[in-house]
Amino acid sequence: MTRQLITHLVKSNPSPAYISRMAAVFANDGTGVRGNMAAVIKAILLDPEARAGDVAPVENDGYLREPILWTANVLRALNAVPKASVTTNAAYTAIPSFSANQQEPALYQPSVFNFYPASFPLQDSSLNAPQFALETSATIMAKLTLASSAVNNLLGGLTVDLSATSPWGQLATASNDMLLDELNNLFLHGTMSTQMRSAIESALSGITDPAQRVRTAVYLVITSSDYKVIH
């Protein structure tokens, strides 16, 4: 049970020692109580193995954001809000269709065990990667299409303002460095690699329109492997 919690909350490939430490907390929360789930979840999230990627991503660590989590996080980070002409209910009830296009329709999992199996081998690897069961050519293209729609404000009933007058546009007008610093903190918790930053800076170098620089930078960040995999 503790292994399942760890794979959903922290990483797909926890060490036996990590699992053992959490099983011990489940057996005794430190006060003689067995099955204290609050204590178990706190221990899982604060364990040194869980915090290993706080400063920089750790190779073969973390887990792939499943479509629902990727979609929800992107929309929340970009402050997607209902358009003035659309009711709040209509705007937000359309969101599940975004993840449904990535084979994860909210509340319609094929079994009580989730949308994907607990164990799924990563191709050409010995690693377990359950969420990758949903990562196909079709779902990858759906995610790229959704990312493009989000940054270009084409989400139907929702508005995503990345215009030149938005806070994002103002950052881009000031400097690409300020824009990338904000994206790094918001999406990657300050762990953007030098290589990734350099690649995005290169992509922005020939773009004069600040709004287009924002759209390009955001798109490259939210579709990157560094963002798709939570460390």
Interval 130-143: pLDDT, tens: 999 999 999 999 99
d(CA 146, CA 101): 9
The closest of 93, 140, 119 to 14, measured between CA atoms, is 119
pLDDT for the residue 35 = 95
User: SS3 breakdown of the chain: % helix, strand, coil, rounded to 5?
Assistant: 55, 5, 40
DSSP 130: G
Query: Which three-class secondary structure state does DSSP give residue 74?
Result: helix
What stretch of H or E contains 230? strand 229-230
pLDDT for the residue 190 = 92
Longest dimension (CA), the chain: 63
Alpha helix stretches (DSSP H) within 125-230: 137-151, 167-174, 176-188, 194-204, 210-222, 225-228
The closest of 75, 53, 74, 70 to 62, measured between CA atoms, is 53
In our burial notation (b when 16+ CB lie closer than 10 A, e otherwise), range 176-198 reads beebbeebbeebbeebbeeebbe
pLDDT band at 178, cuts 50/70/90? very high
* For residue 206, pLDDT beyond 80: yes
Q: Which residues contact 224 (CB under 8 A, 6 or more apart)?
A: 196
pLDDT band at 110, cuts 50/70/90? confident
Q: Delimit the domains of the chain by residue range.
A: 2-46, 54-231
The closest of 191, 5, 125, 31 to 221, measured between CA atoms, is 191
Q: Which residues contact 47 (CB under 8 A, 6 or more apart)?
A: 10, 18, 21, 22
pLDDT band at 91, cuts 50/70/90? confident
* Among the ranges given (79-83, 88-92, 103-107), the one the predictor scored with the smallest mean pLDDT: 88-92
Alpha helix stretches (DSSP H) within 30-132: 37-46, 67-77, 88-93, 95-100
d(CA 154, CA 160): 8
DSSP 132: G
Interval 3-52: pLDDT, tens: 999 998 999 999 999 999 999 999 999 999 999 999 999 999 999 999 98
Number of H helices, E strands in the chain: 12, 4
Query: Which three-class secondary structure state does DSSP give residue 103?
Result: coil
Please report, rounded to a whole number, the percentage of residues in the chain having pLDDT higher than 70: 100
* For residue 57, pLDDT beyond 90: no
Residue 158's CB is within 10 A of a number of other CB atoms, namely 22
